[in-house]
Amino acid sequence: MTMKVASIVGARPNFVKLAPVSEALRKRCDEVIIHTGQHYDYEMDTLFFDELQIPKPAYHLEVGSGSHGAQTGEMLIGIEAALLREQPDAVLVFGDTNTTFAGALAAAKMQMTVGHVEAGLRSFNRAMPEEINRVLTDHCSDLLFCPTETAVGNLAAEGITTGVSLTGDVTVDALRTHTQMAETSSHVLDDLALTRREYCLATIHRPSNTDVERNLKSIIETFAGIANVVFPCHPRTERFLRKYGLWEYAMSHLNVIRPAGYFDMIVLEKNARLILTDSGGVQKEAYILKVPCITLRGETEWVETVEDGWNILVGNDRDKIMDAVAHFSPPRAQRHVFGRGDASIRIAATLVEHALT
Ligand code: UD1
Ligand code: UDP
């Protein structure tokens, strides 16, 4: 009988990670996708399913936004019901969102095999909601798919050594599959009248940067002092810019655009002079696409990007950001710290192997 895997997703970064894994899985098993509905705007959700050709979810729980407890609780109820009905041989969760943790917890309590794609990442900052999700998800998981050796080491330090495999990062797989298509189909540079290497790409959405008025104001004012900043605006960030009366200022001083689709985003990243971000996925993509990255956080899970000299941590301090914009210059050499683009195949193979034993 063919093995059945339930993949649980709900937020933008989950979709990007699911795409290559789903493709690999469907060559070897049956897959059902459960979508919690954590992200629901067209540009945060459907656009990714369309561009990345992700199969339509079998379940859409329509949980939407809410406080952590309410959102996670509603997800648990919906995921449990879907898993009860599907009885999969294994459940896959991706990354570090509330959807990830809800999926892992629901499945573990039902004594199902849980696989975590992007296991072992740690920022060691418990003020980040994602850090709680990472730790708890890993401790609920049976199969831990680590993108880096650092992640394997982090798990070992917490006593997790069984079921751990070093697969590489599925971000490489996604970029490999889609970069060429993105470059042929995206017109974003023309649409925004951008010249290669003459603009900076900026994204922020971490609560520590967006929800605190002083921090958000300082970041936006700093961006306004940098020439030619393109700013795809996350809905959370838009909400707080409006709340703090900064929206008009941002619109008139930066090139603010709607959240970019994946194809436009790849093209914007690849051709930028610099990337300024607090996103985990964007830090990795900057490294893989060899674009210097300035990270507006105090620490990162993706330590290899900093060790290799392609990423610099500046927090939200104006002077540090401006200094990095003026002087940050990565070396030419780079290791292949995220693997070579076969992480999804390894993940699918390990899952099938596990089901057979
Ligand atoms: C979530 C993840 C974060 C991830 C980010 C990727 C958690 C705890 N956080 O953060 O790890 O980096 O997604 O983008 O899981 N909103 C909309 N439309 C949408 C989605 C959200 O308007 O389609 C607005 C709502 O006002 C909502 C807010 O954004 O309250 C925050 O959304 P939420 O999913 O709670 O967290 P993110 O900040 O998106
Ligand atoms: N992304 C995108 N459009 C945007 C911002 C991000 O397509 O406007 C993609 C990005 O290329 C990466 C993923 O979304 O593949 C990262 O998600 P996000 O920054 O929302 O979350 P994080 O990685 O920080 O959890």
User: What distance in Å separates the CA atoms of residue 65 and residue 10, rounded to the nearest whole number?
Assistant: 11
Q: Give pTM, 2 decimals.
A: 0.98
Q: Please report the atom of ligand 1 found closest to the CA of residue 239.
A: 26
Indicate whether residue 43 lines ligand 1 (CB < 6 A).
no
Would you mind telling me the total number of residues written for the chain in this entry?
Answer: 357
pLDDT digits 0-9 by tens, 274-325: 999 999 999 999 999 999 999 999 999 999 999 999 999 999 999 999 999 9
**Tokens of residue 247, six digits:** 């929206």
Tens digits of per-residue pLDDT, 165-180? 999 999 999 999 999 9
Q: Which residue type sits at 276?
A: L
Q: Point out the ligand nearest to the CA of residue 262.
A: 2
CA of 236 to the centre of ligand 1 (A): 6
The ligand 1 atom at the shortest distance from the C-alpha of residue 234 is: 14
Of the candidates 35, 39, 178, 205, the residue annotated as catalytic is 205
Share of the chain above pLDDT 90, in %: 97
d(CA 353, CA 281): 29
Tell me the per-residue pLDDT of 215-259, one tens digit each, with 9 for 90 and over: 999 999 999 999 999 999 999 999 999 999 999 999 999 999 999
Residue 205 bears catalytic tag = yes
Closest CA to 219 of 194, 248, 254, 252: 254
Strands 311-313 and 255-257: unpaired
- Residue whose CB lies within 8 A of the most ligand 2 atoms, among 134, 279, 285, 301, for a mutation test: 279
DSSP state of 188: H
Residue 339: left (phi > 0), alpha (psi -120 to 50), or beta?
A: left
65 lines ligand 1 (CB under 6 A): yes
According to CATH, the topology of domain 4-168+342-356 is Rossmann fold (3.40.50)
Ligand lying nearest the CA atom of residue 36: 1
For position 126, what pLDDT does the model report? 96
Domain spanning 187-327: CATH 3.40.50.2000: yes
Residue nearest to atom 16 of ligand 1 (CA): 235
Distance CA 145, CA 39 (A): 24
pLDDT beyond 90 at 356: no
Where in the sequence of the chain do the CATH 3.40.50.2000 domains occur? Answer: 4-168+342-356, 187-327
The answer to whether residues 186 and 266 touch, using CB atoms and an 8 Å cutoff, is yes
